């Protein structure tokens, strides 16, 4: 599976960004998808995940109420819509995928279960 993330950039506090991740190499409907982030000197942190058919989502506490995750089966992409961004959201955002996963999203909030990773896109929020 190849994952290509895009959409990062520099934004002021309170602004919005929309990240996209294009998947290829497997049937998209077989992929559970997620976003993680990693700030300098910190561990990789779960942000959001979405089930194979899009019926279930899981958001980190830090993302709830500000971020949303969705998927487009026609374009084989997953999107992370981020609003009300804060300086602490500054990080490299990475797209991840898991093939034919049967686990609940709540069990997939660490990086270890995820088999495939994109290269990441930088998000910088200025104060």
pLDDT, position 117: 98
pLDDT, position 44: 97
Q: Which tokens in the block code for residue 21?
A: 């991740």
Q: Which of 38, 60, 53 is nearest to 108 (CA)?
A: 60
Residue 107 and residue 74: Cα distance in Å, rounded? 27
Per residue in 94-126, pLDDT (tens digit) is 999 999 999 999 999 999 999 999 999 999 999
Q: Which tokens in the block code for residue 43?
A: 């561990």
Per residue in 8-66, pLDDT (tens digit) is 999 999 999 999 999 999 999 999 999 999 999 999 999 999 999 999 999 999 999 99
Under DSSP, is residue 7 helix (H, G, I), strand (E, B) or coil? coil
pLDDT, position 68: 98
User: Are 59 and 75 a contacting pair, CB within 8 Å?
Assistant: no
**Strand pairing of 121-126 and 9-12?**
parallel
Beta bridge partner(s), residue 57: 50
pLDDT, position 54: 95
pLDDT, position 116: 98
Residue indicated by tokens 């487009």: 72
pLDDT, position 91: 98
Residue 82 and residue 90: Cα distance in Å, rounded? 12
């Amino acid at each position: 599976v190849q994952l290509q993330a895009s959409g990062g950039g520099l934004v002021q506090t309170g602004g919005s960004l929309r990240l996209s991740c294009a998947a290829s190499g497997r049937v998209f409907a077989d992929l559970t998808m997620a976003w993680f982030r990693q700030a300098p000197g910190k561990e990789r942190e779960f942000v959001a995940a979405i089930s194979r058919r899009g019926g279930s989502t899981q958001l980190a506490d830090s993302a709830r109420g500000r971020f949303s995750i969705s998927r487009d089966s026609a374009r084989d992409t997953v999107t992370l819509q981020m609003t009300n961004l804060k300086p602490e959201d500054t990080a490299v955002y990475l797209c991840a995928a898991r093939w034919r996963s049967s686990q609940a999203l709540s069990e997939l909030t660490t990086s270890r279960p995820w088999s495939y990773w994109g290269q990441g896109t930088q998000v910088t929020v200025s104060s």
